[in-house]
Amino acid sequence: MRRPRGWTLASLALAAALLLGTAAAQGIPSQGIPPAERHSGFDQMAPETRAMQADDTANPGMLWVQDGAELFARAPSPERPACAGCHTESAMRGVAGRYPAWDEGAGQPVDLEGRINLCRARHQAATPLPREGRDLLALSAYLGHLSRGRPLAPPDDPRLAPARAEGRALFETPMGQLGFSCAACHDAQWGRRLGASTIPQGHPTGYPLYRLEWQDLGSLERRLRNCLTGMRAEPLTPGSAEAVALTLYLMQRAAPLAVETPAVRP
């Protein structure tokens, strides 16, 4: 949530408490939003921000997409293949909307960034790229861009059911010193205003995305970390099972909205 000028964290917390009332402390069961009523955060943005996202020549996130395309085509070493040596662009269209997914070798769900790093280790003998590092963001943005316009469609794989349930529990459970849950805002109060900001439904349609507040491209994990910090809760460890589980639930909750990567947000 972007902090309006002149607002302190304490005043934002008070405003949130007044808006959410006792529901936040009690927890909000996440009934989900019916597919026909699901809206991207794009719909709530100012016209000039929507225009920035829609125009690839004005969208700052396209700089990362270009870097990602170069990394995808470049071999990490002379003895190892480039990503493009195994995967064609046409075959990768839609892939970003199908993660997190189950990984046989790891025996657990992995998100898109985790899959990129597993491929690097298994097939390229390369070291994992750091989370929130430019190269991993660039590759994720490039793959997301290839999937732009395709629906979010996390796999209907029974092995993912425990992680999806864990993600839903994380979404519904009050956290931190303020006792808020994700659902208290994004299910129960979406469309209302908190300070100068409209509360979105919270669908991860455009990550990694360029946030004007950050003046940078960032992952969904970065946004979750911002939210949890604002709730005065302990942030999730990047790439952890809990972070992947919450991502999986959010993707399921947003389906079948279209991938927008790289989105632009205030």
Residue type, position 69, single letter: A
185 as an active site residue: the answer is no
* Helix 220-230 / helix 241-254 crossing angle, nearest 10 deg: 100
Helix (H) or strand (E) holding 9: helix 9-20
**What type of residue is 169?**
A
* Non-local CB neighbours of 198 within 8 Å, separated by 6+ positions: 44, 191, 192
Give the whole-angstrom CA distance, residue 218 versus residue 105: 28
Residues 114 and 150: beta-carbon distance below 8 Å: no
Q: Per the residue annotation, which of 83, 182, 185, 227 is the catalytic one? A: 227
Q: ∠ CA(251), CA(143), CA(234), 5° rounding?
A: 45
- 175 has which bridge partners? 180
Active site residue ranges: 227
